[in-house]
Amino acid sequence: MRRIFLALPLTLLLGGCASMFADKACTEGKWHEVGYKDGSEGRNAVEYWRANCGAHNISIDAAAYERGRLEGVARGYCTPDKAFAEGRAGRVFDGQLCGARGELRNRHEAGLREYCTPQVAYEAGGKAAKYEHERCGRAANDLKRSWQDGVTNVYCRPADAYRAGREDEKFQLSLCPPQSESAYRTGIEVRLTKKSLSDVESELYDQKRKRDDKHAKDDDKRYRDSRIRDLEREQRRLKEKLETLERVARNY
């Protein structure tokens, strides 16, 4: 686990900087505040800000940024709680920023020990969440299997796949077996059928209302009667389809 206590690559340091925040930072110019925020996360993104704001012809106050960053590193990043939290989340901790203080390394490794457990791996798999098993040394392969068990036994349950399709929720089909995909597709079909049925019933109500208007002409009434019959047939068809789909779904 000691190999985790390393400096972060520059790409990781800058990866968390959202473009919307970048634009706001450039226009507001609160560089001490921006530096403090970056320092609290162990980032030194001065070159990112220089390039990002320079693209808008805005100069940054690098001195204010650096003062804020150093305060953020000291007060927000180089603390036992932060070191533990980074380990507990399976993230690296840049001990070099903190003078490689032994107590911070120990807290980071304590956090990693809580992260590198079969239960945490299984729960992450159950949510199809990212799990950095490679951070866990010799236990990595076993924990990867625990994560996969969580994916298979929890995330990919046909009932949950069906619900995700029905509720239009994101679902990673590539992780799951064919049965889960079938359930997900059924959920999508239920959702779309309900939408179609709602549209038909809305038009049916509108057509009946217009047909029964006391000012409606006979030709208009005849047209609407014909349209109503078509809509009622479609309504019956969609209801039967929905009943069939929901009957299938009860088996998931």
Q: For 53-88, write each residue's pLDDT tens digit.
A: 999 899 999 999 999 999 999 999 999 999 999 999
Verify that 148 and 196 share a domain, yes or no: no
Q: Say if 116 falls within a structural domain.
A: no
Coil, strand, or helix at residue 251? coil
Number of structural domains found in the chain: 3
Assess whether pLDDT exceeds 90 at residue 12: no
Question: Can you tell me the mean pLDDT for 146-165?
Answer: 96
Predicted pLDDT of residue 1? 46
Assess whether pLDDT exceeds 50 at residue 164: yes
At 23, the pLDDT band (50, 70, 90 cuts) reads confident
Amino acid (1-letter code) at residue 192? L
At 19, the pLDDT band (50, 70, 90 cuts) reads very low
Q: Say if 76 falls within a structural domain.
A: yes
Of the two residues 8 and 215, the one the predictor is more confident about is 215
The percentage of the chain sitting over the pLDDT mark of 90, rounded to a whole number, equals 85
Helix, strand, coil proportions of the chain in percent (round to 5)? 75, 0, 25
Assess whether pLDDT exceeds 80 at residue 148: yes
Verify that 128 and 194 share a domain, yes or no: no
Please give the radius of gyration of the chain, using alpha carbons only, rounded to the nearest integer: 29
Question: Can you tell me the mean pLDDT for 185-213?
Answer: 97
Alpha-carbon dihedral 15, 17, 20, 22, rounded to 10 degrees: -130
Q: At how many degrees (to 10) do helices 62-72 and 31-40 cross? A: 30
Distance CA 186, CA 114 (A): 39
* Token digits of residue 159: 């009932």
Predicted pLDDT of residue 105? 93
Assess whether pLDDT exceeds 70 at residue 11: no
Q: Say if 18 falls within a structural domain.
A: yes
Q: Say if 88 falls within a structural domain.
A: no
Q: Say if 117 falls within a structural domain.
A: no
Verify that 149 and 167 share a domain, yes or no: no
Given the structure tokens 């009957």, which residue do they identify?
A: 247
Contact 182, 175 (CB under 8 A): no
Q: What is the pLDDT of residues 92-117, one digit of tens each?
A: 999 888 986 789 999 999 999 999 99
87 CB-contact burial (10 Å; exposed 0-12 / middle 13-18 / buried 19+): buried
Predicted pLDDT of residue 101? 76
Mean pLDDT for all residues in the chain = 91
The percentage of the chain sitting over the pLDDT mark of 70, rounded to a whole number, equals 91
Q: Which domain holds residue 227?
A: 163-249
Predicted pLDDT of residue 17? 43
Predicted pLDDT of residue 124? 98
Contact 38, 44 (CB under 8 A): yes
Verify that 151 and 189 share a domain, yes or no: no
Contact 125, 131 (CB under 8 A): yes
